[in-house]
Amino acid sequence: MIQPPALHARLLLVGCGKMGGALLKGWKEQRPNLSVTVVDPAAPDADFHSASDVSGSFDCVILAVKPQVMTETVMQLKHLVSPVTLILSIAAGKPISFFEGLLDVRQPVIRVMPNTPAAIGYGMSVLCANSHVTSMQKDLATLLMSSVGLAEWIDDENLMDAVTALSGSGPAYVFHLIESLAEAGETVGLSHDLSMKLARQTVVGSALLAQQSDRLDAATLRQNVTSPGGTTEAALKVLMAEQSGLTDLMSRVVAAARNRGRELADK
């Protein structure tokens, strides 16, 4: 079987923290034939700890460092970037124009927002490209991100802060939901261990049911659990209160994350 050209691409992953590490773990498990070189000053098992030690050419440079150090990082990597090198950035708040300004206005740049479930092949990634990205480079980016979950493209980069707020930061919201459910279970008499097990499995099972019931929307799945006059309905009256319910809270949560993304773009 002939391997697609994308699998022969040489990749440079810069930054192997939580998100970069999640992507690398996913690629190793899902696409073991990919050639990935890792640069990270703090990771003991990185190929290089300084960008100045790296030489050669790469088809794609994946930037997975904090937005606050992105300028310094890109400047250290300029010797590795040719006019046809694809820059793939997962930094929140850094627009495509930021990289065009540091490198070249004609540099192929893709901005992508993944999330940490990529480490187990269940990530959600949204990508946006500038006009200099070729169809082959888009195919490579799609392969990389779809190897670790689902991948969607958007044309309007202005939506990326909203994407970051919803799916990029979203796993933290779900983990906090598990924490909160477990603590609530303890307040009604369950042990810590049992309450946490019930909370974890309830969220995991519900998520899998939602995924496998793709013909039913979330509202229908909720209604299927809710018997008139029953315990679930009593709980939902609290959870769905107009001014203090979960929908209002999550709207404020996502807006706060989106606004922070806009602030980071200005720094």
Q: How far is CA 159 from CA 28, 129, 131, 176, 259, in A?
A: 30, 13, 17, 25, 12
pLDDT for position 31? 83
Q: How confident is the model at residue 45 (pLDDT cuts 50, 70, 90)?
A: confident
- For residue 267, the model assigns a pLDDT of 65
Q: Do 5-160 and 170-265 show the same overall fold?
A: no
Please compute the mean of the pLDDT values over residues 247-265 and round it to a whole number: 90
Q: Which CATH class is domain 170-265?
A: mainly alpha
Section 154-169 average pLDDT: 95
Whole-number mean pLDDT of the chain?
92
Topology of domain 5-160 in CATH is Rossmann fold (3.40.50)
| Residues 111-122: tens digit of each pLDDT | 999 999 988 889
Q: Which residues contact 101 (CB under 8 A, 6 or more apart)?
A: none
**What is the rounded CA–CA span in Å between residue 77 and residue 40?**
12
What are the boundaries of each domain within the chain? Answer: 5-160, 170-265
DSSP secondary structure, the chain, as one string: -PPPGGGG-EEEEE--SHHHHHHHHHHHHH-TT-EEEEE-SS-TT-SBSSGGG--S--SEEEE-S-GGGHHHHHHHHGGG--TTPEEEE--TT--HHHHHHHS-TT--EEEEE--GGGGGT-EEEEEEE-TT--HHHHHHHHHHHHTTEEEEE-S-GGGHHHHIIIIISHHHHHHHHHHHHHHHHHHTT--HHHHHHHHHHHHHHHHHHHHH-TTS-HHHHHHHH--TTSHHHHHHHHHT-TTTSHHHHHHHHHHHHHHHHHHHHT-
Position 7 scores a pLDDT of: 62
Tell me the mean pLDDT in the region 217-240.
Answer: 94
